[in-house]
Amino acid sequence: MTKSLKSVFIAAVLLIAMNIASAQTKIEWKEMVDFHKVMSQTFHPLEEGNYQPIRDRIGEMVEKATLWQNSPIPEDYTSVKGIKKNLKLLVKNSSALEKKIKSGCSDEVIAKDLTKLHDVFHNIIGLCTHDDH
């Protein structure tokens, strides 16, 4: 085998190994993806001063948070206790925001509370690590 052919072979083996490793560690948690969709479609408009999406979809956010909390945590996540604690907080705080929105709270209250929810969401994402990381 020539030197350049060996280099190509080694590069190909490394690329295949990296793809296999990546596929093995990527776990999709459907309920997390579903919640993230609602969060991104309400939080980013709020950042631009548009409060209507969160006012319209807060019930959906509570529903997705509850479904996420009640779903099984992928078994190779290492911080299950921290994930459960933060999911409970996500449901509690999204339910509280729903009550505030239904009672006609101000945009400032919505911004503060949704920002806190966004932070809790990112805490959960940070806790979703695998044993091999």
Helix, strand or coil, per DSSP, at residue 130: strand
Straight-line distance from the first to the last Cα atom of the chain, in angstroms, rounded to the nearest whole number: 36
Which pLDDT belongs to residue 131? 59
Does residue 97 carry a pLDDT above 60? yes
Identify the residue whose tokens are 């009672």. Answer: 103
Which pLDDT belongs to residue 79? 81
Which pLDDT belongs to residue 11? 43
Q: Name the band, by pLDDT with cuts 50, 70 and 90, for residue 77.
A: confident
pLDDT digits (tens, 9 = 90+) for 4-44: 545 444 544 444 544 444 334 456 899 999 999 999 999 99
Rounded to the nearest angstrom, the gap between the alpha carbon of residue 81 and the centroid of all alpha carbons in its chain is 16
What is the average pLDDT score of the chain? Answer: 84
Q: Name the band, by pLDDT with cuts 50, 70 and 90, for residue 109.
A: very high
- Which residues fall within 8 angstroms of residue 75, CB to CB, at 6 or more apart? none
Q: Select from 36, 26, 89 the least CA-distant residue to 61.
A: 36
Computed over its alpha carbons, how large is the radius of gyration of the chain?
20
| Range in 39-48, 73-82, 96-105 the model is least confident about | 73-82
Position with higher pLDDT, 3 vs 129: 129
53 neighbors 45 (Cβ within 8 angstroms): yes
Fold that domain 28-127 belongs to in CATH: Four Helix Bundle (Hemerythrin (Met), subunit A) (1.20.120)
Out of 4-8, 120-124, 127-131, the most confident range is: 120-124
Q: Where are the domains of the chain?
A: 28-127
Which pLDDT belongs to residue 1? 55
Query: Which token pair is 2?
Result: 């020539």
68 neighbors 32 (Cβ within 8 angstroms): yes
